[in-house]
Amino acid sequence: MKANKRFFNVDTNAQVGIGTLIIFIAMVLVAAVAAAVLIQTSGTLQQKAQSTGKEATQEVSSNLMVKTIEGIRAKNTSTDLTANVSLLEVKVGLNVGSSPVDMNQVVISITDGTTTNNLIYANNEKTYDSAMEGFDTDGDASDNLQALLINSTTDVGNNGAYFFTAEKIRDEDGSFTQEKPVMNTGDLITVYISTVADGDTTGYTTVGDLSSLTLLGTGLEIAPRSSISIVFTPEAGAATSADFVTPSSYGTLETVSLYP
């Protein structure tokens, strides 16, 4: 009697299929991780590109424009005037398409060739840890101008050597106030810069419409034939400069046209 023989087939196809499946799953996982990294990176780059583009636009478009500069001489009487300009009235506007400019963040550098004063807006409390002494956020611009000419700020010095004030001329949207002096396109303001010479602080009590003043010096001296340079540096955007040479004589003029 013959014994029954059994034969077993060796089939490895299933093992090969599982290996392929494992590799496929691994590739999908790697692709998913790579895609996530690419998406995150592209998002970060897009945000940085938008931020850089915005900053670049501000740097190009945010420009102040100096329209005119007039100098006012302090006086005692209509015929007794200082030999130097005591106050500058600078008419300032914005270029077309400019972004808003906060005058609180503008630094004005003025030099007569010997002395240089770096001025900030009178309500700026950050730079010197204190606003200008006598500044009134709800007050009239002329009151703050008077404080600029006659007051001194503790731990800082004479107001005119460290601060400037401003007054709106045209402000259709009401963006410019003494407390928050923000300029938009179309706005026009007057910036007041004290230039009282140290030798003109006695004997002269009137500057423009302000009288009964006890003036404080600024270290500047804007005499005839002086070369003056003024630079406006905003928070964003290009700096704006105005350079001029004063006339050879002021004569009997109380208000002198200096620029352009």
pLDDT tens for each residue of 227-254:
999 999 998 888 999 999 999 999 999 9
* Type of residue found at 135: F
Do residues 104 and 137 lie in contact, with contact meaning Cβ atoms separated by under 8 Å? no
Do residues 125 and 258 lie in contact, with contact meaning Cβ atoms separated by under 8 Å? no
Res 141 pLDDT > 60: yes
Average pLDDT over residues 172-194: 95
3-state SS, residue 71: strand
Average pLDDT over residues 76-80: 93
- pLDDT tens digits, residue range 29-70? 888 888 888 888 877 777 776 655 555 555 455 589 999 999
More confident site: 60 or 202: 202
Taking the C-alpha atoms of residue 243 and residue 254, their distance in angstroms, rounded to an integer, is 21
226: left (phi over 0), alpha (psi -120 to 50) or beta: beta
- pLDDT tens digits, residue range 99-117? 899 999 999 999 999 999 9
pLDDT band at residue 211 using 50, 70 and 90 as cut-offs: very high
Res 118 pLDDT > 60: yes
pLDDT band at residue 12 using 50, 70 and 90 as cut-offs: low
pLDDT at 14: 53
> How large a percentage of the chain has pLDDT more than 70?
88
Strand partners, 227: 245
> How large a percentage of the chain has pLDDT more than 90?
70
**Residue 135, CA atoms < 13 Å, CB-side half-sphere:** 24
Res 129 pLDDT > 60: yes
pLDDT at 15: 56
Res 75 pLDDT > 60: yes
Residues 6+ apart with CB under 8 A from 133: 147, 151, 152, 153, 154, 159
Q: How many CB atoms lie within 10 A of CB 233?
A: 16
pLDDT at 54: 52
- The full length of the chain comes to 260
pLDDT at 71: 98
Residues 6+ apart with CB under 8 A from 248: 224, 225
Res 7 pLDDT > 60: no
Q: Terminus-to-terminus CA distance in the chain, angstroms? A: 130
